[in-house]
Structure 1
């Protein structure tokens, strides 16, 4: 009766905050074989053998391991990764990490001490095409200044 509207607003606000700050966790000692899709951050301290698609951040903890294919917005790797990794924004490889595979990311941070044996492509596809086109135009101007 008294304050019910305020209570309802507070409950809705708290639910919204909780859902936006949610982190899915695969704890140490847990093994998943299969595919995972997540809209919120996900932390892997156990083992995943399969595919992971995440629209947010993927964290592979120091006890975590993923073998398979991962696509996400951002990633922090402290544990082991083997496979294909696509990071739309920033990949942060910590000193305890062991990474083997094929990487595509926009930005990359590799800390001293990390094992990083990968084939790596950086930059978004669009920016890479723009840079290539600009380089081609500049080369053409240098070769044939009359067309400049």
Structure 2
């Protein structure tokens, strides 16, 4: 039911979340395997195999590459999400977005170019199962 994430050293990442709390500002690049929540400010590049949440007080300026992302606060930059991007009603997004799925609540500000790329593997599998032969 729950997928267990492990790092190269074998550390179990399930249930662990990195937190940048309100009042904290980080300038630089940030990379991790676990999920991350930002309620402070992060300026730089962010890469993760997990989920990123930018809380209502959170502010992110830079580039993000991750699996899933929920935005309630402010984002400016390039956003690359391999699965789902959720924009809550308080979200403000400026920049360029690439994702597989996009969910936008009423009230969210979405001032971005958006490219949605579906999962090619799923399309190939679906085409083979629905293909009929004579």
TM-score, length basis structure 1:
0.72
CA contact (8 A) 2:86 2:103 kept: yes
Where has structure 1 moved over 4 Å in runs of 4 or more?
none
- Note the 1:52-63 alignment, pairs <5 A: 52-63=46-57
- Note the 1:1-148 alignment, pairs <5 A: 16=12, 19-124=13-118, 126=120
C-alpha RMSD of matched pairs (Å): 2.0
CA contact (8 A) 2:79 2:97 kept: yes
Deviations along 1:33-75, one digit per CA (max 9) or x if unpaired, are: 0000010100000000000001000000000010000000000
Q: Distance in 2 between matches of 1:97 and 1:23?
A: 21
CA positional deviation for 1:125: 7.2
Q: Distance in 2 between matches of 1:38 and 1:114?
A: 28
Which structure is larger by alpha-carbon Rg, 1 or 2?
1
Gaps of 5+ in 1: 1-14, 131-148
Larger helix share, 1 or 2: 1
Q: Distance in 1 between matches of 2:109 and 2:120?
A: 29
Gaps of 5+ in 2: 1-10, 125-134
Count of residue pairs brought into register by the alignment? 114
TM-score, length basis structure 2:
0.80
